[in-house]
Amino acid sequence: MAMALMWSIMARFLMHELISKEDAAKVVDWLTERYLAFYLESNNGLFASSDFQERARETLKTYAIQKGQSEESVAGKKPEDFLHGLQYSGELYRDELNKVSFVLESYQDHLDSKEAFPQLEAHTWGGRGETALFGDLGVKDINKAHAIDVLLEYLGAKRSDTIAFGDAKIDIPMLEYCEVGVAMGNGGPEILAMADFVTDDVESDALYKAFDKLGLLQ
């Protein structure tokens, strides 16, 4: 659902990039002015706007159902049941943010956020088939491909030995970077088109089938 801009291995942090305090405050003000419900993601927790519980409830249910959960299993759930550790009373002007996610009232909200904050990385996320349910803003030029590059350098490992798995547009740089890029069958059209091969849907033993095809189970 969300990519934290931090990698740790054996309790050592390899990378941790943050949104500047100034940009974070501007994002909070912009979302508030547009009446867009949001939550802030940091290593200290998830901090939601006061209207997030009400306005994100059905959106998160839709997200969960598109990820394979049944309508019965999500009935009656609140946002904090999907986003564990979500807080509604925390300070919203913070200096340790990894990312900000917000409920899209329309896809135009994402496009507007991209225009309003060109210094930040703007994406969408939201379930099966790349359906845009949420927009997010994070640190510019920090993506999963860059994170893998940092990790490989630390480990002294070779790029030629890497395999990436993904199901969304945000995963494309990672699949392009790694030696083999595998898309989940439930992924969006962009990632399905560029992957080296497509495995089954994530809820249909996709990883097992991909591992078997790649000879990783021998």
For the segment 181-195, what is each residue's pLDDT rounded down to a tens digit? 999 998 888 899 999
126-161 per-position pLDDT tens digit: 865 557 899 999 999 877 888 899 889 988 999 999
Residue 115 reports pLDDT greater than 70? yes
Q: Residue 197: is its pLDDT beyond 90?
A: yes
More confident residue, 9 or 74: 74
pLDDT tens-digit readout, 33-68: 999 999 999 989 999 999 999 999 999 999 888 877
CA dihedral 205, 209, 214, 217 (to 10 degrees): 80
- pTM (two decimals): 0.76
3-class secondary-structure state, position 30: helix
- Nearest alpha carbon to residue 27 among 108, 125, 94, 106: 94
Task: Report all structural domains of the chain as residue ranges with CATH numbers, in order of start.
Answer: 6-139 (3.30.1240.10), 145-213 (3.40.50.1000)
pLDDT greater than 50 at residue 6:
no
Residue 163 phi, psi dihedral angles, 5° rounding: -135, 135
Is the model's pLDDT at 12 over the cut of 90? no
State the Cα angle at 138 between 137 and 143, rounded to 5°.
Answer: 125
Q: How far apart, in whole angstroms, are the C-alpha atoms of residue 173 and residue 99? A: 18
